[in-house]
């Protein structure tokens, strides 16, 4: 175990303000709000800024930190940067954390740098552990379905990751219901602790309601952690009066472009914002609360580039009750 090389003393009351939920039928508990280190922990972000975001998250009971091999930019840099934070400030707190990573999307050139093959998944996990400076991760996910690889091979690789001690639990990400059911049966037969699915889900994006993932996960007793809860910032009040100079659209168009702000979408955002105001919440708080009220959802992954954003996201836990009329109206506005 590394010795910390810098001083950081976590808030001793950090667990009091967070709720923890079992991931499906498993014994693993996750915080209702987890921190995703997608594109705010790459090399374009100042290290001090990343460090303060992690400090704020941990000080407020966020114990789960989610990565993938290709998170950056550049690919791999999020794991490298988080590994540095762990080494310098958190080695004494490793057992208080759930750290996850994934492999599936393209990470390096050639035929072995993507997909679901045993070769790729296990090689990628070794590289992730080296970047993180860890002996193991708590959850290792297959990041996406691969139609060119037998599901049995991909699940066998997850089994090897767990059996070798390089991961404690297995997870699946971006699967649909039928493939989830097939994969879960294989993992059960292999006695692999598969406990969670990670999928995109928010008021606007209802894919997992249509492809069977949400229903199947609940039926099988598997957890569900959701990403993009704010639809890349559209489910906030950021764009109600135009495009701010410091917004994602203005300075980083990789994931959200100006063409997303159609008249129809803006109308939906304004109507949802009105409901949020009636509830005494910001639109972002309501969007997160809408996910947290759902008993199929274990945890919501949030991204943050500033400490205050972490605190704002946690505030959504203060009111997760919705009337039937509010839920009906939200579905109607979203076209669900």
Residue 54 above 90 pLDDT? yes
More confident residue, 252 or 82: 82
Strands 29-31 and 299-302: unpaired
* Average pLDDT of the residues in 188-206: 98
What percent of the chain stands above pLDDT 70? 93
Token pair recorded at residue 255: 């994931």
The CA-atom distances, in angstroms, between 144 and each of 15, 106, 309 are 33, 11, 28
Give the model's pLDDT for residue 261. 76
Residue 22 above 80 pLDDT? yes
- Confidence band for 250, pLDDT divided at 50, 70 and 90: very low
CATH entry, 20-232+291-320, from 3.50.50.60, 3.30.9.10, 3.30.470.20, 3.20.20.100: 3.20.20.100
Long-range contacts of 87-92 (CB under 8 A, 24+ apart): 87/2, 87/5, 87/133, 88/4, 88/5, 88/6, 89/4, 89/6, 89/8, 89/51, 89/54, 89/55, 90/4, 90/8, 90/54, 90/58, 91/1, 91/2, 91/3, 91/4, 92/1, 92/4
Other CB atoms within 10 Å distance of the CB of residue 219: 14
**Alpha carbon 269 to chain centroid distance?**
23
* Average pLDDT of the residues in 34-46: 95
Quick check: bond before 73 cis, omega within 30? yes
Q: How many residues does the chain have?
A: 336
Residue 171 above 70 pLDDT? yes
* Average pLDDT of the residues in 298-323: 97
Contact partners, residue 332, CB within 8 Å, separation at least 6: none
Other CB atoms within 10 Å distance of the CB of residue 32: 22
pLDDT digits (tens, 9 = 90+) for 99-134: 999 999 999 999 999 999 999 999 999 999 999 999
Average pLDDT across the chain, whole number = 94
Lowest mean pLDDT across 7-16, 86-95, 260-269, 323-332 = 260-269
Strands 20-22 and 223-227: unpaired
Give the model's pLDDT for residue 256. 59
- Of 102, 106, 189, 186, nearest to 150 by C-alpha is 186
Lowest mean pLDDT across 59-73, 74-88, 123-137, 228-242 = 228-242
* Average pLDDT of the residues in 76-86: 98
* Burial class of residue 111 in the structure, from the number of CB atoms within 10 Å of its CB (0-12 exposed, 13-18 middle, 19+ buried): exposed
* Average pLDDT of the residues in 237-246: 69
């Amino acid at each position: 175990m590394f010795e910390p090389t810098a001083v950081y003393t976590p808030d001793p009351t950090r667990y009091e303000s967070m709720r923890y939920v079992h991931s499906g039928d498993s014994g693993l508990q996750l915080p209702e709000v987890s921190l995703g280190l997608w594109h705010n922990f790459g090399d374009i972000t100042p290290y001090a800024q990343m460090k303060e975001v992690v400090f704020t998250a941990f000080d407020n009971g966020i114990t789960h930190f989610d990565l993938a091999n290709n998170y950056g930019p550049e690919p791999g840099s999020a794991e490298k940067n988080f590994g540095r934070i762990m080494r310098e400030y958190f080695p004494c707190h490793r057992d208080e954390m759930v750290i996850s990573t994934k492999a599936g999307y393209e990470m390096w050139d050639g035929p072995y740098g993507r997909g679901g093959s045993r070769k790729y998944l296990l090689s990628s996990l070794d590289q992730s552990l080296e970047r993180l400076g860890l002996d193991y991760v708590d959850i290792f996910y297959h990041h996406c379905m691969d139609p060119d690889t037998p599901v049995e091979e991909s699940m066998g690789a997850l089994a090897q990751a767990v059996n070798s001690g390089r991961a404690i639990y297995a997870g699946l990400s971006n699967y649909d219901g039928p493939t989830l059911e097939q994969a879960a049966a294989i993992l059960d037969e292999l006695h692999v602790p598969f406990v969670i699915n990670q999928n995109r889900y928010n008021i606007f994006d209802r894919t997992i309601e249509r492809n069977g993932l949400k229903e199947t996960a609940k039926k099988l007793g598997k957890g569900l952690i959701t990403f993009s809860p704010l639809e890349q910032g559209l489910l906030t009040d950021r764009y109600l009066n135009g495009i701010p100079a410091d917004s994602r659209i203005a300075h980083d168009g990789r994931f959200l472009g100006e063409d997303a702000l159609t008249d129809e979408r803006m109308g939906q955002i304004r109507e949802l914002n009105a409901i949020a105001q009636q509830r005494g919440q910001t639109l972002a708080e309501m969007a997160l609360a809408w996910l947290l009220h759902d008993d199929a959802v274990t945890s919501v992954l949030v991204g943050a580039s500033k400490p205050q954003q972490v605190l704002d996201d946690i505030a959504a836990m203060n009111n997760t009750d919705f009337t039937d009329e509010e839920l009906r109206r939200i579905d109607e506005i979203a076209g669900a």
